[in-house]
A and B are shown apart, each in its own frame.
Chain A
């Protein structure tokens, strides 16, 4: 077995250090140096640097960040907006929260770098409503940054103005989808928009807009400070850099971990997260948040934690919200919890998602209550087919993936609960 790579700490480097949330300690430990460096660079050179780093969106989709930025038209007569997506709501995902709670200035610095690169002077952090305490910490950090003249009419003394505001969501998972987030920020019902047009040209207030995840933005100071090449040297050929994994479920040490992309999945569970708790056997893993396909223990063998490997293994890296399930887990009950979530969070705009998520959730409830029929198992798969790829946003697909993977991979568990 090859030796495990040495892990680089980029995002969590200072996470446990005392008082890291204060601007004084943040600066003491090298904070805001990257911003200073960035401000001395050409904006386009900065975008090229991010492109070269290979940084990909950490919210779940994994879209190359530099490329997303390059879609924003320059020299328009409209303002450009950067929106930080901190609506972290995917079940199993709690990585952004740690960054904002413990190291809020890193996010501010990353946002300031991004805003400078995009020539954006007004930016929002859209934080999920349940994270009010996180928002308070983040707001305190923003206040400090304003006081230190890092934000405001002249960012670090340079002729560049930037305002960042915190906006609290009102409790809807769908608002983590970037166009719903924009609608919500505009004061509308959180409904995904039909694309095209894309936010890069018609986003917030019909202006060019970039929506980036907290973790994505937080990686920028390190990339600027250490260079794109240093970042690109970490990870695999296509999945570069480090990724946060928030691990929950039946592991001895649940929590948030930073790993180099390409780290072996089972090693991660066994060595980093302390292995399956209570000496039980591993049954299944949901590697990237509740919406990605579940993997059986056998399927986890030899799989690496990067975008390509997980896709090849039939699942996805997603948000890095890893849920580990041991041998005592009832898969129908687990799927029922997941299906309930999507039924509850479907915005109700598109027919297949609105009706399908609710129907599937009810069938699963019946099954775990012992009132299901064997034909219900196939009906679940039929509903998945009826929903998949037929809606404006991917929420229906986010329900389809667990339904289909749970039911096909653990079919007998479902059938055993059903009468004829």
Chain B
């Protein structure tokens, strides 16, 4: 562990670290464009030049390994002048079109100009190098070559992360530009990442372009709901609407990346109409709106009647692997502990197998639910039923009479989803009495005895357990409309209506109960579920 001096302060670096990495670990940001923690080092931007004693020239902090006893200055006048010079160079041919640039507000050129630059331009407009603008690079990315600082992060991403190599430099000297061969589209499933790693406005998101100035957005830390990988994300939203989702760095899971499907998955939430109020079938068989109180009283009474007539074995609990651990825990608490039901499952499409199945070598898993492992760990997988087909069969055979079903369609859609949804519909249809908790309207809705509006991913806070058993906290970004409640709230109400204890006032309370009652989670605290999350046995 080499010790070195940075700006007069002695700090310890990890073996093999470069100056920029060691400085970052100790909270000193050395300005940079091309350096990126999850990409190979390139050393081209020359913004991170630092003054190292006994080295005649300034040296890049990103390429220089820390040596024992090294004396480094990143803030003296010599360094500041060099950084100012590099920044001025980067800006001479930059179009300075911040008022119409999506990057404005989170642009490294703007940020560093405020710290190091503040110079007046010495280059007349007519002398600037002109390059191509608004180049369509496929479904995710739009390229503006004039704004580019040529840091090669995008090139290195495609070379070393996706290994698809679509982007390259073209030309040389001050006419160098990035691009794809013959403007071919970036159509690999991770192309959106280059928008995040672009430190300037050269690569912008086709999806987010011109939607909102970034400083109006509120950020909520969350976990992607698109599959079982559990990538750390930040949801940017405003006035109850999500504008974009970008990765947060979790070196243990997704590094700095996010797949394109996951990135766009939040749009799925608004594609179909929401269920805004609890609905209950009257004696005439027609659904009518009711209050939550009416609904839970009626449900509890009816389920107890069925239990009295057919035994607790006739009640099915069918969970969703997209619900939070908190929702699933109280679901089990009510349907299992309170009503005595023993038949539980959540599988509509072999989620227990797909949860570990890698779709590629980068991030994606085949299971398009964020919490299948959580459902398994809570004991919601029945050997006898073996998934939804077994449940349908048991219901047809009359062994199962009633069911409490939580259903969230996957946020990342696949071709087979319609067929899968058909099975859910069939299950609800064959049950004599069905209570369905869902967020969106769908064709099964008319078949349900009771429909309870609950909040989907991003509209309630809670934890998800990813493919490897990593428990991670996802915050609540926006409020659900209408009367929708969090899944845990719905079951807390049912437990209360049923005469059981129901002391939970927040998802946090529920999580505390969960860690108390579920052995696998015993050691987990909510704090540990923040980055990088904690793996449970």
Contacts and interface: CB of A to CB of B under 8 A. Distances in A.
Contact of A358 (B43, B85, B129): B129
Interface stretch (B171-179, B213-221, B396-404): B171-179
B326 interface: no
A346 B86 contact: no
Contacts of B89: 351-352, 354-356, 359, 386
A389 B171 CA distance: 24
A387 B86 CA distance: 8
**Which residue, A174, A351, A379, A390, has most C-beta atoms of chain B within 10 A?**
A351
Contacts of B92: 355, 359
Nearest to B89: A355
B169 interface: yes
A343 B58 contact: no
Contacts of B93: 355, 358
Contacts of A343: 173-174
A346 B149 contact: no
A348 B172 contact: yes
B85 A354 contact: no
B424 interface: no
Contacts of B172: 172, 174, 344-348
A29 B44 CA distance: 51
**Which residue, A366, A390, A391, A392, has most C-beta atoms of chain B within 10 A?**
A390
A350 interface: yes
B123 A359 contact: yes
B45 interface: yes
A357 B85 contact: no
A311 B494 CA distance: 90
A172 B46 CA distance: 23
Contact of B173 (A346, A351, A386): A346
Interface in A327-343: 343
A362 interface: yes
A387 B149 CA distance: 16
B468 to A, nearest CB: 35
B63 interface: yes
A352 B86 contact: yes
Contacts of B129: 358
B523 interface: no
Nearest to B176: A348
Contacts of A346: 172-174
B57 interface: yes
B341 interface: no
Interface in B42-57: 43-47, 49, 57
Contacts of A194: 41, 43, 60, 63
Given A351-B90, A390-B85, A344 B44 contact: no
**Which residue, B45, B58, B89, has most C-beta atoms of chain A within 10 A?**
B89
B174 A354 contact: yes
A349 interface: yes
Interface in B30-46: 41, 43-46
A416 interface: no
Contacts of A352: 46, 85-86, 89
B150 A354 contact: yes
Interface string A353-390: 01111110010001000000000000100000111011
**Which residue, B85, B93, B149, has most C-beta atoms of chain A within 10 A?**
B85
A358 B46 contact: no
A183 to B, nearest CB: 13
Contacts of B150: 348, 351, 354
Contacts of B58: 389-390
A387 B82 CA distance: 9
B47 A351 contact: yes
A189 interface: yes
Contacts of B90: 351, 355
Contacts of B127: 359, 362, 366
A389 B57 CA distance: 6
A351 B46 contact: yes
Contacts of B123: 359
A344 B176 CA distance: 11
Contact of A344 (B41, B85, B86, B173): B173
B122 interface: yes
B123 to A, nearest CB: 7
B46 A391 contact: yes
Contact of A351 (B57, B86, B168, B171): B86
Nearest to A389: B57
Nearest to A349: B44
A392 B174 contact: no
Interface string B51-72: 0000001101001000000000
Interface in A283-318: none
Nearest to A357: B173
B88 A354 contact: no
Given A349-B44, A362-B127, A390 B176 contact: no
Nearest to B90: A351
A177 to B, nearest CB: 13
A352 B85 CA distance: 8
A349 B45 CA distance: 8
Contacts of B57: 389-390
Contacts of B174: 343, 346, 348, 354-355, 357-359
Nearest to A366: B127
A392 to B, nearest CB: 6
A347 B168 CA distance: 14
Given A348-B150, A351-B86, A189 B43 contact: no
Contacts of B46: 350-352, 390-391
Contacts of B149: 351
B515 to A, nearest CB: 49
A150 B82 CA distance: 53
**Which residue, B41, B63, B82, B173, has most C-beta atoms of chain A within 10 A?**
B173
A386 B88 contact: yes
A348 B43 contact: no
B173 A354 contact: yes
A392 B44 contact: yes
Nearest to B82: A390
A344 B175 CA distance: 9
Interface string A114-156: 0000000000000000000000000000000000000000000
Contact of A348 (B49, B85, B171): B171
A287 to B, nearest CB: 24
A189 B127 CA distance: 28
A348 B173 contact: yes
A350 B49 CA distance: 12
Interface in B242-265: none
Given A194-B41, A343-B173, 19 more contacts: A174-B172, A194-B60, A343-B174, A346-B174, A348-B171, A348-B173, A348-B174, A349-B44, A350-B44, A351-B150, A352-B89, A355-B89, A355-B93, A358-B173, A362-B127, A366-B127, A386-B86, A389-B57, A390-B85
6 contacts: A189-B168, A344-B173, A348-B150, A359-B174, A389-B57, A390-B57
| For the complex of A and B, 9 pairs with smallest distance between CB atoms | A358-B174, A348-B176, A386-B85, A355-B89, A346-B173, A389-B57, A348-B172, A194-B43, A349-B44
